[in-house]
Amino acid sequence: MAIRVEESTFYLETKASSYIFTVYDEKYLVHLHYGKRIGTVGQMERIVDLDPRPGFMADNAAYFGMDGSRAEQVVCAEVLPQEYPCYGHGDLRSPAFHAQYKDGNRITEFHYAGYRVFEGKKALKGLPATYAEPGDRVSTLEIDLKDELTGLCAVLSYTVFEEQDAIARSVRFENGGKDAITLQTVMSANVDFYGKDWDLTHLDGSWARERHIHKNPLTNGYQGIDSKRGASSHVHNPFIALSGRDAGEEHGDVYGFSLVYSGNFIAEADVDQLDMTRVRIGLHPFDFAWKLDAGDEFQTPEVVMVYSDAGFGKMSRRFHDLYRTRLCRGAYRDAPRPVLINNWEATYFNFNEEKILNIAKKAKSVGVDLMVLDDGWFGKRDLDDCSLGDWVVDRRKLPDGIDGLANKVVELGMQFGLWFEPEMVSPDSDLFRAHPDWCIHVANRRLSLGRRQLILDLSRQDVCAYIIDAVAAVLDSAPITYVKWDMNRNMTEMGSALLAPEHQAEFAHRYMLGLYYVMETLTTRFPQVLFEGCSGGGGRFDPGMLYYMPQIWTSDDSDAVERLFIQYGTSMVYPAGTMGAHVSAVPNHQVGRTASIKMRGDVAMTGQFGYELDLALLSDEELEAVRGQIQQYKKYRDIIHNGALYRLRSPFEGNNMALEYVSQDGNTVLLFYYTVLAKPNPAVERIQLRGLDTNANYILEESGAQFGGDRLMHLGLNLKDKEDFSSRVFVFKKKQ
């Protein structure tokens, strides 16, 4: 069992890490250690500072009661590393918990009230989360904290995934009192670290430029990221990492925090006056309040913490392993997924059945498995200004309906997939005319449009039921085995016509609960359908979505060079198989760049591979290249998706990028090397491989040349940047 309890001290142990906290003075949860494995902590006095300090509030047993009673000052709470700090007494740093009670007071004092340990992991009611399967080395610790005065209980849950060096945390609040409580700050996790010599890494960007890596040294005060947009967003990803100043790709301490949630969030590090660093991550307290009636429960989203003692590379491999196998679900979790072609960049809204079938035929001839029909097949949608919500086929474009087209695609020997944007409604739609109050709005306030559309109010059960029925009716009507679930704007005027005033600030989270309910219902009802998430590209690329949809369209930017940055950044947390990646036309529609067909293929191949262009416009030579790419991808996708990723060169640090994948059995090694710009008389790039067997020999497939594993790792390969926008792929086989 990975969880030990010794003298009121809790030891959570993964393969390479210990997470330790203790009960102090029979009441307070004090954090002791997160990092490399240690046996026992010994005397607490040597780990935390228990001396009172001038200038700080006296806490713990120190109080002066209103009745004149006096207790002795023992410790200052603000000096202690706290496990789950609440607002109101001596710790004046940002709290993990803050609430308002019936009489208007905002003071909470959680005291330790017991614990439970069990094998496996409970599901989180209504929320996506990691899970355990029978036989997994996974166990859970639950700690009860209680506020005696109000009867509010916080159940802190810690699930230890031993193999993945991961701990999944969340909190469940149970109102055991007589009165309603308004929850205001409910972090999923808080970790107090000693010292401020850390770097903070996050993944930021914008539409078509998502998840670029940003790494900065911490300084005193707040630093962090958030989303108040109603989606995890293009701008920030619900992930931060704290790393030692000397940490790099292959060495040093790295702590990754990844929130399994798709809506408003906050993730921050706060360096205090004693240079201690508090990390908090969870639901955004901004514009959030939740009225918890007596007897009710509230569940926070889950945060997954991964500790790596060997740099960012190991952290990422741990996240990949966990998310690929114990977050993603369904028939497509482990199965090889189809190579698809999507018509969006080939036709945009301007298509008919003939055009789509021509794309499909050409695609079939080069080995594509699945034809995806994107936006524009329903209502009267010739532009993005109408018809969202009216999920009825446009017979002007598709006279034989979706079923007619789907059946013809199936007759070609391909699968058929369809685009939806189920959460949206166009002002010019039958749905909006029939139900104007179904959109997110606030009475007497104007409506802001984004991409000329509004968002349906998924906090309402009737709206959720409509979406389920409308999507299900189409899926039932035709042989559809893939759905692209898009979402193209952020939220404004957040509020619901159905919520009472005291529940309005619950809106953003209630929307997410509604969305998760809809997705759970549809993915359960259509297990044969592969769902791909999308939000104007990667505007909702997060672990919450992956629980329902095992792949997500990574970005609307399909340019091979920009994708180097986006996919490299995304790989910090997310495995290759989750990243939708397509070869598109040149000049590229987003940036006008012309990258070689080889580079475009080699970039897309390190994700979930597909095409998004009119193949009829390619030369015979290019079509031959496409045929070869699909064969190559199918041959190696298992290694790319399920093997171990080593990032050898970062595009953020130079003019090239190198990625290496080692198969699970260690017998095949793939090396992808990309050049952005060529240089005259270029320097030699020495690429040293990782994760090989130093005692084995490896054969380079293209030449039959033999290399020792030690030579490839310690000496490396000499490569040169020869041409703009070019790439090379090397395959090594371990000699048996």
Annotated binding site for substrate: 207, 374-375, 451, 484-488, 534, 556
Cβ nearer to ligand DGJ, comparing 553 with 674: 553
Using CB under 6 A, which residues numbered 139 to 168 contact ligand DGJ?
A: none
Tell the smallest beta-carbon distance from residue 615 to ligand DGJ (Å).
18
Tell the smallest beta-carbon distance from residue 582 to ligand DGJ (Å).
9
Binding mask 302-341 for ligand DGJ (x = CB under 6 A): ----------------------------------------
Decide: is 374 part of the binding site for ligand DGJ (CB under 6 A).
Answer: yes
Beta bridge partners of 719: 685
Tell the smallest beta-carbon distance from residue 563 to ligand DGJ (Å).
14
Cβ nearer to ligand DGJ, comparing 83 with 421: 421
Cβ nearer to ligand DGJ, comparing 421 with 506: 421
Binding mask 541-580 for ligand DGJ (x = CB under 6 A): ------------x--x------------------------
Q: Measure the CA–CA gap between 472 and 522, rounded to whole angstroms.
A: 7
At residue 583, the 3 state secondary structure works out as strand
Tell the smallest beta-carbon distance from residue 277 to ligand DGJ (Å).
37
Decide: is 608 part of the binding site for ligand DGJ (CB under 6 A).
Answer: no
Binding residue for ligand DGJ, selected from 13, 486, 506, 557, defined by CB under 6 A: 486
Binding residue for ligand DGJ, selected from 534, 560, 639, 671, defined by CB under 6 A: 534
Beta bridge partners of 698: 707, 734
For residue 313 the two structure tokens come to: 């590379």
Cβ nearer to ligand DGJ, comparing 495 with 537: 537
DSSP H helical ranges for 504-576? 507-525, 543-546, 560-570
Decide: is 375 part of the binding site for ligand DGJ (CB under 6 A).
Answer: yes
* Residue numbering of the annotated binding site: 207, 374-375, 451, 484-488, 534, 556
Q: Measure the CA–CA gap between 401 and 343, rounded to whole angstroms.
A: 17
Segment contacting ligand DGJ by CB under 6 A, of 157-165, 251-259, 491-499, 532-540: 532-540
Within 10 Å of residue 174's Cβ, how many Cβ atoms? 17
Residue nearest to ligand DGJ (CB): 375
Tell the smallest beta-carbon distance from residue 373 to ligand DGJ (Å).
10
Q: Residues binding ligand DGJ: what is the number (CB under 6 A)?
A: 11
Respond yes or no: is residue 557 known to be catalytic.
no
| Contact yes or no for 122/153 (Cβ under 8 A) | no
Cβ nearer to ligand DGJ, comparing 187 with 208: 208
At residue 410, the 3 state secondary structure works out as helix
Cβ nearer to ligand DGJ, comparing 147 with 486: 486
| Contact yes or no for 159/19 (Cβ under 8 A) | no
Greatest alpha-carbon pair distance for the chain in Å reads 91
> Which one of 91, 165, 321, 556 is the catalytic residue?
556
Phi and psi at residue 609, in whole multiples of 5°? -75, 145
Q: Which residues contact 575 (CB under 8 A, 6 or more apart)?
A: 319, 320, 321, 323, 324, 641, 645
Using CB under 6 A, which residues numbered 71 to 100 contact ligand DGJ?
A: none
Cβ nearer to ligand DGJ, comparing 332 with 344: 344
| Contact yes or no for 224/269 (Cβ under 8 A) | yes
Q: Which residues contact 320 (CB under 8 A, 6 or more apart)?
A: 571, 574, 575, 576, 645
> Which one of 272, 394, 486, 602 is the catalytic residue?
486
Segment contacting ligand DGJ by CB under 6 A, of 424-432, 469-477, 530-538, 678-686: 530-538
Q: Is the preceding omega at residue 587 within 30 degrees of 0, hence cis?
A: yes
Using CB under 6 A, which residues numbered 419 to 438 contact ligand DGJ?
A: 419
Radius of gyration of the chain (CA): 27
Cβ nearer to ligand DGJ, comparing 313 with 379: 379
Respond yes or no: is residue 334 known to be catalytic.
no
DSSP string, 159-220: EEETTTTEEEEEEEEEE-SSS-EEEEEEEEEEEEES-S-EEEEEEE--TTS--EEEEEE--S
Within 10 Å of residue 133's Cβ, how many Cβ atoms? 10
Tell the smallest beta-carbon distance from residue 551 to ligand DGJ (Å).
13
The 10 Å CB-count burial string (b at 16+, else e) for 358-377 is ebbbbbbebebbbbbbbbbb
Q: Measure the CA–CA gap between 9 and 42, rounded to whole angstroms.
A: 10
Binding residue for ligand DGJ, selected from 282, 285, 311, 537, defined by CB under 6 A: 537
Segment contacting ligand DGJ by CB under 6 A, of 144-152, 529-537, 646-654, 656-664: 529-537
Cα 256 to chain centroid distance, Å, stands at: 12
Binding site for ligand DGJ (CB under 6 A): 344, 374-375, 419, 486, 488, 534, 536-537, 553, 556
Catalytic residue positions?
486, 556
